[in-house]
Structure 1
Amino acid sequence: MTKVQLKGVRKDFGAFTAISHIDLEIGSGELVALLGPSGCGKTTTLRMLAGLEVPSAGQILFDDEDVSEVSVQKRNVGMVFQRYALFPHMTVEKNVMFGLKVRNTPKLEMQERLEEILDVVQLQQFRHRFPAQLSGGQMQRVAIARTLITKPSVLMMDEPLANLDTKLRGEMRRFIRDLQQRLGITTIFVTHDQVEAMELADRVAVIFDGKLAQYDKPDALYQRPSSVEIADFMGASNIFPAQISNTGLATAQFGTLQLDCNVTPVKAGAGSILLRSEAIDLWVDRADAQGNIISGTITGREFFGATVNYSVDCCGDTIIVNEQARRMVDVGQDVWLTIPPDRIWVIQHD
């Protein structure tokens, strides 16, 4: 297991700066997702970590050793790409053994490692098949096995699930997470998919415009984003400007809410409040509503099977409420919304 650090890393391509400044520490045996929109610099960061690009400034350290200018061949890293890059004329076992063969690994050791890794990735029954005879998920497991058989100190994955359908992506996310925890290998995973990052990672590094915007555990990133931009990127639907008082009150266009000052930072002045849609309760009887109460009218309803999303007009602001589909409330119905003080997050404006 290897600790990985980036210290003041920058990457220029001529006059264009792809990465302006990143400081990042990835613990030994940790799985970290590099998350951000297309073109933000996450793949460039991964390529520098792998040794495929040299930083223009700063240091990359593996276990406190500077590897910034060490070639990819000498870093002992494994890379899994979005495209599987399997050899179509080779069987599964020959594809998997390819990395060992070019390293001139002894035949006995090569065979022992092959049997071990085919068991790990559950491909024993497919070992004599060719890539064209495999499903997308099976091909991805072959690509992962081909990387893991070389026993890399760090595993790197560049959007490896992008070519899979929704159901298979969910299965492969669980497979990769279980495999990483079983092997305890330090893993860096690039994705633009928020759900993928939240489900897979121990910590998530959000990158915007070549800068590290926030680095945190998935639940903290989801519940306590450090900026409106991050909240919006992480899928928050209820972000409203508000005036914050020293006494822990947030006044928005739709009304005033009491905050829990032990949960969210309170500083008098302008800010934004984040109301998670699943934390809001919807009532059709005013007498049932207690605490922070917001009145409104349902203007839209979306049914998703297990859940329902309601759009509620509250004094000109639209608040989205997500609740279990145990009932259906009609569009046009007057309702009351309540949200606990400890489920409101304030993003202070500078």
Structure 2
Amino acid sequence: MTKVQLKGVRKDFGAFTAISQIDLDINSGELVALLGPSGCGKTTTLRMIAGLEVPTYGHILFDDDDVSEVPVQDRQVGMVFQRYALFPHMTVEKNVMFGLKVRGTPKAEIEERLEEILDVVQLQQFRHRFPAQLSGGQMQRVAIARTLITKPSVLMMDEPLANLDTKLRGEMRRFIRELQQRLGITTIFVTHDQIEAMELADRVAVIFDGKLAQYDAPDALYQRPNSVEIADFMGANNIFAAQISASGLATAAFGTLQLDRDIVTVREGAGRILLRSEAIDLLLEEPDGENVIEGTVEGREFFGATVNYTVTCGGEIITVNEQSRRLVEVGQKVWLRIEPRHIWAIRDDA
């Protein structure tokens, strides 16, 4: 297991700056997702860690050793790409052992490692098949096995699930997470999919325009984004302008809400409040207590297990997501209640 650090890393391609500056600490045995929109620099960051690109400035360290200019073949890293790049004329086992054969690894050691890794990735029964006889998920497991058999100190994956259908992506996410935890290998996973990052990673590094915007645990990133841009990228749809008081009151167009004093970190002044749609109670009778907003249901979308309601409150539209154990009619007068701990405030100058 290897600790990875990026210190003041920058990457220029001529006059274009792909990565302006990134500082990142990845603990030994940790799975970190590099998350961001297309073109933000996440793959460039991965390629620098792998040794496929050399930083223009800054340093990359493996276990405190500077490897910034060490070539890829000397870094003991493994790469899994979006495209499987399997040899179509080779069976599963020959594809998996290929890397060891070109390195001149003794035959007995190749056979031992092959049996071990085929068990790990659950491919024993497919070992004599060719890639054309495999499903997308099975081909991706072959690609992972081909990388893991070389025993890399750091495993890197560049959008490896992008070519799979929705159901198979979910299955492969669980497979990769269980495999990573079983092996305890330091893993860096590039994705533009927020759900994928939150389900897989111990921590998520969000990159915007070549800069590290936030680096946090998935739940903290989702519930406590450090900017409106992060909140919007993570799927928040209830973001409202508000005046924040020193006592932790947030006054918006639809009324005043009490923030959780234990988690409020913003100073008083103009800001935004974030209300998670799944954390709002939609009530048909007015309840007692604080943080209650009156409104009218303007729209309803049924998604099977859940229902999305749009509720007009004081001129603002608030989205509420709840389980489909009932259906509230459009035009119904309702009350929304949200606990202080489910409200997050962000200063406009954050």
What range describes the TM-score normalised by the shorter chain of this pair?
Answer: over 0.9
Is 1:105 equivalent to 2:97 in the alignment? no
Calculate the TM-score normalised by the size of structure 1: 0.99
Counterpart residue number, 2:53: 53
- Opposite residue 271 of structure 1, the aligned amino acid is G
**Deviations 1:124-178, CA, capped at 9 Å, x for gaps:** 0000000000000000000000000000000000000000000000000000000
Output the CA distance in 1 between the equivalents of 2:70 and 2:93: 31
Is 1:71 equivalent to 2:45 in the alignment? no
What is the DSSP-based 3-state SS (H/G/I as helix, E as strand, rest coil) of the residue aligned with 1:95?
helix
Most deviating of 49-58 and 247-256: 247-256
Calculate the TM-score normalised by the size of structure 2: 0.99
Counterpart residue number, 2:20: 20
What is the DSSP-based 3-state SS (H/G/I as helix, E as strand, rest coil) of the residue aligned with 1:119?
helix
Output the CA distance in 1 between the equivalents of 2:261 and 2:290: 16
Counterpart residue number, 1:169: 169
Output the CA distance in 1 between the equivalents of 2:264 and 2:179: 36
What is the DSSP-based 3-state SS (H/G/I as helix, E as strand, rest coil) of the residue aligned with 1:145?
helix
- Opposite residue 303 of structure 2, the aligned amino acid is F
Superposed, which structure 2 residues align to 1:111-190 within 5 Å? 111-190=111-190
Superposed, which structure 2 residues align to 1:235-274 within 5 Å? 235-274=235-274
Counterpart residue number, 2:343: 344
What is the DSSP-based 3-state SS (H/G/I as helix, E as strand, rest coil) of the residue aligned with 1:100?
helix
**Equivalenced residues, count:** 349
Measured after TM superposition, the shift of residue 264 of structure 1 is: 2.0
Output the CA distance in 2 between the equivalents of 1:17 and 1:234: 25
Counterpart residue number, 2:310: 311
**Aligned 8 A contact 1:264 1:344 in 2:** no
Counterpart residue number, 1:331: 330
Output the CA distance in 1 between the equivalents of 2:235 and 2:288: 27
**Deviations 1:250-299, CA, capped at 9 Å, x for gaps:** 0111111111111222421001000001110001112x353211111111
Dislocated runs of 4+, deviation >6 Å = none
Output the CA distance in 2 between the equivalents of 1:42 and 1:182: 26
**Aligned 8 A contact 2:275 2:342 in 1:** yes
Measured after TM superposition, the shift of residue 88 of structure 1 is: 0.4
**Aligned 8 A contact 2:248 2:264 in 1:** no
What is the DSSP-based 3-state SS (H/G/I as helix, E as strand, rest coil) of the residue aligned with 1:114?
helix
Counterpart residue number, 1:90: 90
Output the CA distance in 2 between the equivalents of 1:12 and 1:328: 54
CA 300–289 in structure 1, closer or farther in 2 if over 3 Å, else same = farther
**Aligned 8 A contact 1:267 1:348 in 2:** yes
Output the CA distance in 1 between the equivalents of 2:174 and 2:337: 35
Counterpart residue number, 1:290: 289
**Deviations 1:61-112, CA, capped at 9 Å, x for gaps:** 0000000000000000000000000000000000000000010000000000
Output the CA distance in 2 between the equivalents of 1:192 and 1:266: 29
Any unmatched runs of 5+ in structure 2? none
Counterpart residue number, 2:212: 212
**Deviations 1:209-236, CA, capped at 9 Å, x for gaps:** 0000000000000000000000000000
Output the CA distance in 2 between the equivalents of 1:151 and 1:289: 60
Cα root mean square deviation, aligned: 0.7
What is the DSSP-based 3-state SS (H/G/I as helix, E as strand, rest coil) of the residue aligned with 1:265?
coil
Any unmatched runs of 5+ in structure 1? none
Percent sequence identity over aligned pairs: 83
Most deviating of 318-327 and 29-38: 318-327
